[in-house]
């Protein structure tokens, strides 16, 4: 295993786990019309969390 591959994996993993990569995925999916700005996108995403709450266990 090359160090580069591990670093690339780490970067990818952290972006996935934190949800930081969500916007880029949205841009890739969004091919018609003007996409939301990042600010607007993230705002909607965090407001979605109002509706429910993930349980945190003991």
Partner 1 sequence: MPNPGMPQPGGSRPRASLPSIVVWTLVAVVGGLAWGVIALSRGEEISAIWLVAAALGSYAIAYRFYSRFIARRVLRVDDRRATPAERLDNGVDYQPTDRRVLLGHHFAAIAGAGPLVGPVLAAQMGYLPGTIWIIVGVILAGAVQDMVTLFFSMRRDGKSLGQMVRDELGPIGGAAALIAVFAIMIILLAVLALVVVNALAESPWGTFSIAMTIPIALFMGFYLRILRPGRVMETTVIGVVLLLLAIVGGGMIQGSAWAEAFTLSPVTLVWCLVIYGFFASVLPVWMLLAPRDYLSTFMKIGTIVLLAVGVILVAPTLQNEAVTQFALNGAGPVFSGSLFPFVFITIACGALSGFHSLVSSGTTPKMIQKESQVRLIGYGAMLMESFVAVMALVAASVLDPGLYYAMNAPAGLLGTTAESASQAVANLGFTISPDDLRTTAEEIGESSVVARTGGAPTLAVGIAEILSGIFGGAAFKAFWYHFAIMFEALFILTTVDAGTRVGRFMLQDMLGNVWKPIGRVSWKPGLWGTSAAVVLAWGYFLYAGVTHPLGGINQLFPLFGIANQLLAAVALTLCTTLLIKSGRLKWAWVTGVPLAWDVAVTMTASWQKVFSTDPKIGFFAQRERYADALAEGKVLAPAKSIEDMHTVVTNSTVTGVLTAVFALLVIVIMANAAVVCVRAIRARTPLPTTETPFVESKILVPAGGVFSTGDEGREPDKVAGPS
Could you list the residues that contact partner 1 (CB under 8 A)?
1, 5-6, 8-9, 12-20, 22-23, 26, 38-39, 41-43, 46-58
Distance of closest approach, residue 48 Cβ to partner 1, in angstroms: 5
- Between residues 32 and 49, which has the closer beta carbon with respect to partner 1? 49
Q: How far is residue 43's CA from residue 2's CA, in Å, rounded to a whole number?
A: 38
Rounded distance, CA 16 to CA 9, Å?
A: 10
57 Cβ contact partners less than 8 Å away, ≥ 6 residues apart: none
**Which lies closer to partner 1 via its Cβ, residue 15 or residue 35?**
15
């Amino acid at each position: 295993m090359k160090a580069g591959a591990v670093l690339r994996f780490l970067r990818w993993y952290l972006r996935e786990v934190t949800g930081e990569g969500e916007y880029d995925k949205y841009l890739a999916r969004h091919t018609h019309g003007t996409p939301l700005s990042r600010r607007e996108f993230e705002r909607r995403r965090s407001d979605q969390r109002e509706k429910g709450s993930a349980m945190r266990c003991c």
